[in-house]
Structure 1
Amino acid sequence: MKALLVEDDIQLNTTVKKFLQLQNYNIVSIFDGEEAINIIDEERFDVYIIDINLPNISGLEIVKYIRKKDLISPIIIMTASLEVNNFVDAYDNGCSEYIKKPFHLKELQIRMQHLLKNNSSDIFVVNDRIKYDFANEELKIDNATIRLRKKVNRVLQILLKNINHTVKTEEIISYVWENEIKESYPLRQLVADLRKEFNFDKNYIISQPSVGYKFETDSNS
């Protein structure tokens, strides 16, 4: 398992890194928020461990950035803060778990194991006809593999990870286009292309005018 550790306290960073290496984790440890953003652009991680208060770019901003690229991998926030708003903001923006400083290293290990165990299945089952394999980025309908273009695929990913909940248009665009300049090819066309793949008994992809879209499992055609 490959983990990214972002903590500006040198002693804590070193201690956590050494401990997790003994647990056979492949650890990349850094001390700065801006450096974290750079490495997230270059590499993929199975789990993220991030301090809230970091130089240059805060941990909360890093969480938001990760979720634009990676909807699956768990994120653990480390914090000494008692402010409820920090926890609310962290969870609202994609944090999976938080751990309060100071903490026992064994506690961190247990939390990581729990999150990774729950995250071990990459197969998202919508119903007995529709499955999505996040690891291989493949949609299967009635056991037939459907090949989707990259951006259509990413539209489906963000909708499935928020199933039965509306995802705002700007959030979808941010995830689908990543760091690219948005093309003239509009989001509504990507959604139309995706809908063609679900052209059977239900209208799964619901438009919320001026708000966004959702993948709804119990909608009627």
Structure 2
Amino acid sequence: MKKKLLLLEDDIALNETVVDYFENLDYSVLSVYDGNSALDAIYENNFDLLLLDVNVPDINGFEILKSIREQDVTTPAIFITSLNSMIDLENGYESGCDDYIRKPFALKELKLRVETILKREFFHNDSNKIEIDASIYYDTANDLLSVGGDDIQLKNKEAKLLKLFLQNKDKLVTHEAIYATLWEYGEEISESALRTYIKNLRKYLGKEKIVSIKKLGYRFTTK
């Protein structure tokens, strides 16, 4: 499945250059030129990584990232900016970014930074153990689910599905996104198998944790 990037950059020439470069590397890139459009895109799509210029029209990159972090959006982000003071650097990291690259930059350097971040599965989490609720934990390194002290070894596709839900808590995860995550290119997609994986996860986690959204997909809820 192609990794999906959001690019916020108001310099038209640089925007087009970055888009062309990453699309040639088989990424999917949605580009916008102002802060409001970036926020709309973030709330309407599931991105793997955000590339955010700081000085853009409407809302600057720092404020965008600070705002979405307050809404528990953990999508990793790299700031692309000409700002170079230590105060600017501190502001960038305090707003919740994962990396920071100064203009002008080599496209290959940006590529390496993107690839390094995307190798991680969970963001803004210092442990391999994810707390799902007071008595349920998920060990992401070993695909081991601990429920009330009992350990359950998840099967491959069950683990992929749970990771996808945990990366998109309280957000709609479409059937298309699930199919693209669970089945490799060329594999036959099985709706009945997906229903089985959902049934098993509900059995482990509680039926109320995974809400069916008719004809659209599912939502993993923390409410």
TM-score computed with the length of structure 2 as normaliser: 0.59
Q: Give 5+ residue unaligned stretches, structure 2.
A: 140-161, 170-199, 212-218
| Equivalent-residue separation in structure 2 for 1:16 and 1:103 (angstroms) | 11
Indicate the RMSD between aligned Cα atoms, in angstroms: 3.3
The aligned counterpart of 1:10 is: 12
| Equivalent-residue separation in structure 2 for 1:81 and 1:116 (angstroms) | 25
Matched, 1:27 2:34: no
Q: Give 5+ residue unaligned stretches, structure 1.
A: 155-189, 191-221
| Equivalent-residue separation in structure 2 for 1:26 and 1:149 (angstroms) | 28
| Equivalent-residue separation in structure 2 for 1:71 and 1:34 (angstroms) | 16
| Equivalent-residue separation in structure 2 for 1:144 and 1:152 (angstroms) | 13
Determine if contact 1:5/1:13 at 8 Å carries over to the other structure.
Answer: yes
Matched, 1:105 2:112: no
For 1:120-139, what aligned pairs fall within 5 Å after superposition? 124-126=128-130, 130-131=137-138, 133-137=162-166
| Equivalent-residue separation in structure 1 for 2:137 and 2:122 (angstroms) | 19
CA 1:119–1:72 in 2, change beyond 3 Å: closer, same or farther? farther
How many residues are treated as equivalent by the alignment? 153
Determine if contact 1:32/1:54 at 8 Å carries over to the other structure.
Answer: yes
Structure 1 position 46, deviation (Å): 0.6
| Equivalent-residue separation in structure 2 for 1:126 and 1:16 (angstroms) | 34
Determine if contact 1:5/1:27 at 8 Å carries over to the other structure.
Answer: yes
Identical counterparts, % of pairs: 32
Determine if contact 1:73/1:119 at 8 Å carries over to the other structure.
Answer: no
CA 1:12–1:152 in 2, change beyond 3 Å: closer, same or farther? closer
The aligned counterpart of 1:178 is: none
Structure 1 position 72, deviation (Å): 3.1
For 1:114-153, what aligned pairs fall within 5 Å after superposition? 114-119=116-121, 124-126=128-130, 130-131=137-138, 133-137=162-166, 144-146=204-206, 147-148=208-209, 153=221
Where 2:205 maps in the other structure, the secondary structure is strand
Determine if contact 2:165/2:220 at 8 Å carries over to the other structure.
Answer: no
One-letter amino acid of the structure 2 residue matched with residue 99 of structure 1: I
For 1:59-78, what aligned pairs fall within 5 Å after superposition? 59-78=61-80
| Equivalent-residue separation in structure 1 for 2:94 and 2:122 (angstroms) | 22
Selected match of 1:45 from 32, 44, 47:
47
| Equivalent-residue separation in structure 2 for 1:101 and 1:5 (angstroms) | 15
